């Protein structure tokens, strides 16, 4: 089983007990406003998300991590990797993304988990490139991307929801842990 420990976090695969806390995170409009269609998600939809992430882990050997606080054991959110379906500029490439419960923002947890995920992708899994997209309005993600050393490579448009996106990438050759 894939687990990563950082100074403050445990990144691991998903457990049944994660459904309730992740559903609470997905029920918060402030968390969800820049994800997908911007709507909050039900418990059933959250269960489906966890199932899809676990399937990706089984099929690809990577996926979204459950991010747990080492100190308290609380689920802080989801950070990890997925094969992008869209926009066309990154389709088929491995993308990093993040979402934490609101009470866990502003403590460096997203960046800590994302650094560990990037190292996992490029060094452990042997991927030679990781990409990301953020909505232009998403300055919190821009800050995380800058701290990760990911390079802004251009713009794109979300083909489903129409949002303007900034596209980022990092190659193994550019990566310094
Ligand atoms: C995007 C998101 C994950 C960013 O989380 P975040 O908590 O702002 O990001 P970070 O982990 O980088 O932490 C930010 C701040 O924590 C502060 N911080 C406090 N204690 C810290 C510590 N011990 N170590 C590091 N930083 C710390 C820092 O000041 C840092 O800000 P700075 O880089 O300007 O100095 C979060 O806003 C979120 O989940 N949003 C909703 C979901 C979403 O929109 N996801 C993206 C679209 S898919």
pLDDT one-digit tens code per residue, 108-121: 999 999 999 999 99
Cβ(108) – ligand 1 distance below 6 Å: yes
Domain boundaries, the chain: 4-174
- Which residue has a Cα nearest atom 33 of ligand 1? 143
Q: What is the pLDDT of residues 54-102, one digit of tens each?
A: 999 999 999 999 999 999 999 999 999 999 999 999 999 999 999 999 9
Cβ(144) – ligand 1 distance below 6 Å: yes
Cβ(106) – ligand 1 distance below 6 Å: yes
Cβ(97) – ligand 1 distance below 6 Å: yes
- CATH code of 4-174, in short, is 3.40.630.30
Picking from 106, 107, 103, 83, the residue whose alpha carbon sits closest to that of residue 93 is: 83
């Amino acid at each position: 089983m894939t687990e990563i420990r950082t100074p403050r976090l445990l990144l691991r695969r998903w457990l049944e007990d994660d459904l309730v806390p992740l559903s609470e995170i997905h029920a918060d409009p402030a968390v969800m406003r820049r994800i997908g269609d911007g709507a909050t998600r039900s418990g059933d939809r959250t269960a489906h998300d966890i199932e899809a992430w676990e399937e990706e882990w089984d099929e690809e050997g990577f996926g979204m991590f459950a991010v747990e606080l080492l100190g308290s054991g609380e689920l802080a959110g989801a950070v990890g990797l997925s094969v992008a379906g869209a926009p066309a500029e990154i389709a088929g490439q491995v993308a990093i993304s993040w979402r934490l419960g609101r009470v866990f923002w502003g403590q460096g947890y997203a960046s800590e988990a994302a650094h560990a995920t990037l190292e996992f992708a490029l060094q452990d899994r042997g991927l030679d490139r990781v990409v990301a997209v953020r909505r232009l309005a998403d300055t919190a993600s821009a800050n995380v991307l800058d701290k990760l050393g990911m390079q802004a490579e251009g713009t794109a448009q979300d083909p489903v929801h129409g949002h303007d996106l900034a596209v980022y990438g990092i190659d193994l050759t550019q990566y310094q842990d």
